Chain A
């Protein structure tokens, strides 16, 4: 049973435009969400996170939005750059399992120059 889903395996965006990556979850107990970025042959690197008490968190070109009623979060990258081309994973955790992340299957973003 996959509790965190990223339904789009891939996404292509023109350089300078907005990239929107989506993530859905089923467990209403999740209260902390993260986005990780992964380049080939490297480990995932932390990008941005959001607590369930917020609906938006921004860090430079990256913004994460959380819609608790829809159990949906999204990552916006504006403007997109070729160096953003990578696989993006969303992850979720609960208060009772703060050390355990449940990861989605990832979305491969390709930013076209």
Chain B
């Protein structure tokens, strides 16, 4: 039973193409995230949604657009792919406690994107 799943696991595409990565969690969490791990292994937050509302939007090019159709899904669409977009993209989810703090984040297995 996969808690946080991502599709596809690998994605190889040409520069200029548009692609999407999908993420689903079955943990009942209300908050989901997208992270990018670049070639230097630096894991950096890109976006976060709480109850389908965007709450974190880091300095990310407009070509990246997250979409949360419901609390269990957070997809990432990337337009006009560039060489520098090559990275591993991780989806994660967590739950907001009554105190306002968030529980630890659960990560998906990652999507390795290669732009040629």
Contacts and interface: CB of A to CB of B under 8 A. Distances in A.
Interface residues of B, number: 27
Contacts, number: 51
Given A99-B55, A103-B43, A34 B104 contact: yes
A32 B101 CA distance: 10
B100 A43 contact: no
Contacts of A52: none
A99 B96 CA distance: 8
Contact of A43 (B31, B50, B90, B102): B90
Interface string A45-57: 1100100000000
Interface in B56-78: 56
A99 B107 CA distance: 14
Contact of B101 (A44, A98, A100, A103): A98
A105 B107 contact: no
A99 B110 contact: no
A57 to B, nearest CB: 13
Contacts of B43: 44, 89, 103, 106
